[in-house]
Chain A
Amino acid sequence: KNEVEQSPQNLTAQEGEFITINCSYSVGISALHWLQQHPGGGIVSLFMLSSGKKKHGRLIATINIQEKHSSLHITASHPRDSAVYICAVKEYGNKLVFGAGTILRVKS
């Protein structure tokens, strides 16, 4: 079993839909990152969370430390949100472990 599990693996949505990507992990962590990777390959850090909830524009990230679970929500999705979304957990000792990613396609 992977230390970081993301679901779904693939997601196709219609423009305007509310999107949720989930991340579950099995180890103790000091922080959790949500990353976005566009087809060109570049990676952008969206959020770093250690508790609670963060919001940036149409993106919301939440984390439940007790349940070892985090969600990334995209409101009013747009085709430019099409990308791979990666959850990564920072274990104690600073090792970052990545999920396999969720491939999101938003159709207009």
Chain B
Amino acid sequence: DSGVTQTPKHLITATGQRVTLRCSPRSGDLSVYWYQQSLDQGLQFLIQYYNGEERAKGNILERFSAQQFPDLHSELNLSSLELGDSALYFCASSANRQGPDTGELFFGEGSRLTVL
């Protein structure tokens, strides 16, 4: 058990809909990262938050947004869903006590999104 909790584990929805994925980092971890894993593109970095602020941005679509709340949990919002958004979405956290760019990653179990 990594200590990172993601909900829901599975989600099935229709095209055009909006979903929210939730991530609770390990206790005390300041950084939260979101990744997408699809069959055709492998793992891709989406976005990082550090202590409530956006820290780094990767290949995140404009239809997607994220935020980190004062209690450090994070949510990834996916809107106007398309078939191609079907993927595993992972959250990871790290302690980063020496700064936002350091620290081993601890992954959640992932949220499997299926868009029909």
Contacts and interface: CB of A to CB of B under 8 A. Distances in A.
Interface of A: 30-31, 33, 35, 41-45, 48, 86, 88, 90, 93-98, 100-101
Nearest to A86: B43
B101 A94 contact: yes
Given A48-B105, A94-B101, A95-B45, A41 B56 contact: no
A41 B45 contact: no
Given A41-B88, A43-B90, A98 B43 contact: yes
B45 A43 contact: no
Interface of B: 2, 33, 35, 42-45, 48, 55-56, 58, 88, 90, 92, 100-102, 104-107, 109-110, 112
B42 A96 contact: no
B109 to A, nearest CB: 5
A43 B58 contact: no
- Counting chain B CB atoms within 10 Å of each CB, the highest count among A94, A96, A97 belongs to A94
B114 to A, nearest CB: 13
Given A33-B105, A41-B88, A95 B58 contact: yes
Contacts of B101: 30, 90, 94
